[in-house]
Amino acid sequence: MMTAQHLLVPVDFSEYADHAVEYAIGLASTLGARVTFLHVMQSPPWGGVDLDVTFPHAYSTFLQHLETEITHSMEAYLQRVTTAGLVGDMAVVHGVPFQEILETARIQQVDLIVMGTHGRTGLYHMLLGSVAEKVVHLAPCPVLVVRQPTMVPIS
């Protein structure tokens, strides 16, 4: 019997993450669990260009605007949690996604991580890896990976 009281739900605002959010809210409702949404802002790979040095004010302003938009989007997730009668919170952090997810799970002592997956395969997966895969292998708690439902053609 699952006794999860605190769920961590990493979000990247993709359709895959949105599906995981829906699943997590339903699961939290069933369990009466608290939900924490996490978004990790990853520095873009600019090929060695340090935008903090090259365009300090413009880049700083861009990051502030982006973080405001992300926070606004996460507040919509949080509203769905409170509408369901649950307790929730959110965090926006900077860093490497899988590392920040693992660190947040450890610090907040979550019972379950619920996350979506893009389901990438082949060369793309080999080159970039999978955040979900790294979290599954290294997490301090169980991880529920929610796949996007696929439509099966009827013959």
pLDDT tens digits, 8-45: 999 999 888 899 999 999 999 999 999 999 999 987 65
Domains of the chain and CATH, by start: 6-45+56-146 (3.40.50.620)
- List the beta strands (DSSP E) in the chain: 6-10, 34-41, 88-94, 112-116, 143-146
pTM value is 0.83
Reduced to 3 states (helix: H, G, I; strand: E, B; else coil), residue 42 is coil
Report the C-alpha gap between 116 and 144 in whole angstroms. Answer: 8
Report the C-alpha gap between 35 and 5 in whole angstroms. Answer: 9
Taking only the tens place, the pLDDT of each residue in 99-123 is 999 999 999 999 999 998 875 555 5
Band of pLDDT at residue 2, cut at 50, 70 and 90: low
